[in-house]
């Protein structure tokens, strides 16, 4: 598939939505810095999940409480495996 521009038109369409400054910024980071950023993002995501559980628990809806209990059991199992 040889296009006149030499690039796939689908790729060109997606490129307009990509923030290349963020890519360049991340490429300037060391491997350790990128890993640290990823770990911080995971911690933040965990905080958000826990906040969501607290809100649902405070609402006291039975379905939410059941789901929260299941998630907490899974989390405990995962922590015990580590």
Q: What is the DSSP code string of 1-38?
A: ---TTSS-HHHHHHHTT--HHHHHHHHTS-HHHHHHHH
User: Which structural domain, as residue segments, surrounds residue 66?
Assistant: 30-81
Into how many domains does the chain fold? 1
User: Sorting pLDDT into bands at 50, 70 and 90, what band is 4?
Assistant: low
Residue 75 included in any domain: yes
Q: How many CA atoms lie within 13 A of 78 on its CB side?
A: 6
Report how far residue 44's alpha carbon sits from residue 48's, in angstroms, rounded to the nearest whole number. 6
Q: Could you tell me the pTM of the whole model?
A: 0.55
- Whether residue 63 is contained in a domain is answered as yes
41 lies in some domain: yes
pLDDT 10s digits, 20-54: 999 999 999 999 999 999 999 999 999 999 898 88
Structural Rg of the chain based on CA atoms: 21
């Amino acid at each position: 598939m040889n296009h006149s521009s030499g690039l796939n038109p689908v790729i060109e369409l997606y490129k307009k939505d990509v923030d290349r400054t963020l890519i360049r910024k991340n490429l300037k980071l060391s491997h350790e810095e990128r890993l640290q950023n990823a770990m911080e993002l995971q911690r933040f995501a965990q905080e958000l999940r826990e906040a969501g559980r607290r809100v649902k628990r405070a609402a006291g809806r039975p379905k939410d409480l059941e789901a929260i209990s299941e998630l907490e059991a899974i989390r405990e199992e995962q922590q015990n495996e580590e």
